[in-house]
Amino acid sequence: MADDIKAVSTEVVPVDARQPEAAVIERAAALLRAGELVVFPTETVYGLGGDALREEAARRIFAAKGRPLTDPLIVHIAQVEELERVAAAVPERAQRLAEAFWPGPLTLILPRGEQVPRLVTAGLETVAVRMPSHPVARALIRAAGRPIAAPSANRFKHVSPTTAQHALADLSGRVPLILDGGPTPVGVESTVVDLCSSVPRILRPGGTSLEALRKVLPEIEPPLPPRTTASDKREREEGQAQRSPGQLLVHYSPTAPLLLFEGEDEAQRAALVAEALRRLERGERVGILAATEDREALRPCEEGGALVRAPASLEEPEKVAAALFAILRALEEAAVDVILCRSFRPVGLGLAIQDRLRRAAGGRIIRVDPSAGATEGVR
């Protein structure tokens, strides 16, 4: 797909994130109406947008990202009434969730409407739909006069973009226009809920927490952990359509290998420090993603030359999520040889953080059992 893209000149245009300028929005909307692509901010990450009802635009999205056609796109709308254009049916559960969480970082899997090309849905009879809350995104959808299909504005499997500069680094020459509305506030993608199964289930944890969803839909099931058997990996990476984005074992990955430590806090902290010191002694350039609670224990690593980033406390998953992808990109740009990450508690946005780090690690997970020592395994 990547070879189908013709090189274009990419312009980055600032836009007011709170009160987007009408002329800037109309310029972007005109490109979308002409079947072109536009990068724009949402509250979660930057999106690579195209007309959701035009197959040609969807094909350009897949090509620009280098994304396989088996990975569906999320359709973005600006008001609930637009659901009728993209979904064949809106069950009562969907109405309740939309009323409670839209606009916001929640995507619903619904029956596909006839106007939505099957290319957008990876050939499935379901469609992923959300209503973003970011003023720029909503203004753009309204001005375009049609729903916008928009995955994250990055190369396939790379770290998601939370600034216009991240998107430019990945997509320069592949899109004509990037709207720069500053850093995105949530920092991780939307939660995806499947409402086409007998029991509603989270397929991708994200900016709307399981705890909040259960207050509206108590029967909702949490996401299943990534399966990593050889047969499942082949199915996911060699052609089986995914019901939701973000389902692949390897995703959100920096160019440097990432090792994720899991286990009781003190034990995983000690194992991470030991691994960092061992690698530093070998002359490796080490990046570390930690929490503020780890700072004192990591002092010897910093003194040895490790690049330590601890954006917030373990009790502040919202702050960690907002900084997560930017930190991974910064460590990548610093040319570290390895990134060592602690795990975060799977509560609230911590569940989305854990999911992103596990997929960024691609199976390189160090499980720490104080009684047995550290063991590396694949979940």
Number of other CB atoms surrounding residue 100 within 10 Å? 15
What pLDDT does 376 receive? 57
Strands 258-263, 365-369: pairing is parallel
Q: So what's the pLDDT on residue 4?
A: 58
CB 204 within 8 A of CB 244: yes
For 152, other C-beta atoms within 10 Å of its C-beta total 29
Complete DSSP assignment for 336-365: -SEEEEE---SSTTHHHHHHHHHHHHTT-E
**What backbone phi and psi angles, to 5 degrees, belong to 209?**
-75, 155
| pLDDT at res. 375 | 59
For residue 48, which of 139, 172, 143, 186 has the smallest C-alpha distance? Answer: 172
End-to-end CA distance of the chain: give it in Å, rounded. Answer: 31
Tokens coding 8: 């274009």
pLDDT at 228: 53
How confident is the prediction along the chain (379 residues), in pLDDT tens digits per residue? 444 577 899 999 999 999 999 999 999 999 999 999 999 999 999 999 999 999 999 999 999 999 999 999 999 999 999 999 999 999 999 999 999 999 999 999 999 999 999 999 999 999 999 999 999 999 999 999 999 999 999 999 999 999 999 999 999 999 999 999 999 999 999 999 999 999 999 999 999 999 999 999 999 999 987 665 444 455 455 578 998 998 888 899 999 999 999 999 999 999 999 999 999 999 999 999 999 999 999 999 999 999 999 999 999 999 999 999 999 999 999 999 999 999 999 999 999 999 999 999 999 999 998 775 555 554 3
The Cα 237–Cα 250 span in angstroms is 9
Domains of the chain: 2-227 (3.90.870.10), 258-377 (3.40.50.11030)
Q: CB under 8 Å to 306, separation ≥6 — which residues? A: 276, 280, 286, 287, 288, 298
Alpha carbon distance 47, 33 (integer Å): 17
Q: What is the pLDDT of residue 227?
A: 61
> What is the Cα 350 distance to its own chain's centre?
14
Please state the pTM of the whole predicted model.
0.94
